[in-house]
Amino acid sequence: MSEMTFPLPDVGEGLTEAEIVTWHVAPGDPVELNQVICEIETAKSLVELPSPFIGVVTELLAEVGQTVPVGNPILRVRTEGSSPEPVAEEAAPAGDTDETRDAVADAAGSVEHEGNGEGGGAVLVGYGTAGSATSRRRRGGEPLLAGAAGRHSSLPVADANPVIAKPPIRKLAKDLGVDLTAVTGTGIAGEILRDDVVRHASQASLFRNITTPEPQSVREERIPLKGVRKHIAQAMATSSNEAPHVGVFTDVDATRTMEFVKRLKSSSEFAGTKVSPLLIFAKAMLWAIRRNPEINSTFTETEIIRHNFVNLGIAAATPRGLVVPNIKDAQELTLLQLAQAIEQLTITARDGRTQPAEMANGTITITNIGVFGMDFGTPILNPGECAIMAMGTIKEKPWVVDGEVRPRMVTTVGGSFDHRIVDGDVISRFVADVASVLEEPALLLD
C-alpha cells in the first residue's frame, strides 16, 4: 500500500495556473481510474480532471476557489500497489486530447505505451486513447456513455416503461433541463424526438433578461479579474492595439436564404438537426474564402501565413463569458455535417464544457449578433486572425425589387479585417461574395 499525489496538470493550452471550481470527491472516498475528481477553471474553459489512480482519497490539497500553479499537488490517494494498474479499454477523460493526455502523464509521472496501432503514443496509465472510448460506471453503478463533446450522458436504469431516445436527444434534454420521463414521444413506438424535447424545455433565454432584480444594498462590488473574463480582456486589448482594424458591411436581401432554411428544416435529410440562417452564413463564408484566400491568413512580424484549411470559429455567448470554439477543417464538411458541427459546438459552449483544444488554432471567426436582436456591430478580431464576420438580425423591411418597393427579409453582413494583410479591394470582394450567397443560396452549387 502506498500514497500517491496528483499534481495539477497543464491541460494542453500552456496553462500556468487554474482555479479549483468543484471537488467531486472527499477524504475517505474510493476513486476509480478516470473518475472525475474535480473541475478546474482555466483562462478559457471549465475542464474536468479525471483520476489517474485507483484507491482511496486521503487528502484534498487545494480548496474550492483556490488558484493553484501547474505542477502543485492537489490530491493525495492511498493505493494498493506502488503504481496503479492499467485498465484496458477505459473511456477517455472529458475533453481528452493528445496534448491533455501527454501533459497529465508528464505531471503524474506514470506513463506506459499502448501499441494498438491507432495513434498509440504515451498515455497515462488507465487513460485510453480517444478512439477507444467505451462505456464505464461511476461509483454507485450509474452507467455512462462517452458523449461527442468529451462529456457524458446518464442512461436511465431499465424499468417497465423505458424512455426511448437516441443519445443526442438525451444530451439535448440534459442541456435544456428536461426530464425525459415526463416527455411524451411522438416518434415510432413512442420514441422521443428533438421537437418533443424542445416543447418541454424550461430553459430561460440566454440573451434576454426575463426578470428585473431588486436594487443592490451595497454601493459597489469588486469582482476579481480571472478565468475567462481575464483572458477575454487580454485578448481583446492585444488585438485592438496590434491589428489595424477596418470595417466593411452591406445590407442584404436574405429572403431566399430564409426560404432555403425552411426547405432544409422540412427535408428528411436534416431531420433531427438544427438548421438556421447561421448555417447558410457559415457556408457562404467558406465559399467566399475559396474565392478570396487572402482573408484566411495570419500576420507575423516576418511573414503572412496563408491557411489552406479553415478552422471556422463561432463566437458563443455563455454564462461564463464569450468563447470562440472552432470547427476544424470546416471546408471539408457537407452542409449537413456543418449544421451538426455548429449545433454540437453551440450546445457544448453554452453548457460551459468547451475544451481548450476546441478553441485553439482558429483561422477566421463568425459572430452572430442577430440572435441579440441587433442589426449590426463592429467586432474585434480574434487574435491571430485576419477577419471576423458578423451577421445582424433578419427581419422584414421595405426593399426595392424590379423598381417596386416590396417587403423582403433583410439583414446586414460585414465585419472587421486586419489591414496589414488585406486591402479594401479584397475585403470588399469577400463581403460581396458572402452577401451574394445569402441573396441566392443556389450559388453554393458552384
Given 24, 200, 245, 419, the catalytic residue: 419
Q: Three cell numbers at 21?
A: 471550481
Q: How far is CA 55 from the centre of its chain?
A: 33
Q: Is 261 left (phi over 0), alpha (psi -120 to 50) or beta?
A: alpha
Can 419 be counted among the known catalytic residues?
Answer: yes
Q: How close are the terminal C-alpha atoms of the chain, in Å?
A: 67
Give the integer Cα–Cα distance in Å for 351 and 5.
30
Give the integer Cα–Cα distance in Å for 366 and 313.
6
Query: What is the residue whose three cell numbers read 416590396?
Result: 406
Give the integer Cα–Cα distance in Å for 130 and 94.
10
Query: What is the residue whose three cell numbers read 458572402?
Result: 434
Nearest one of 170, 171, 167, 165 to 190, comparing CA atoms: 165
| 112, containing H or E segment | strand 111-113
Give the integer Cα–Cα distance in Å for 338 and 398.
32
The torsion defined by the Cα of 158, 163, 164 and 170, in degrees rounded to 10, comes to -100
Residues forming the active site: 419
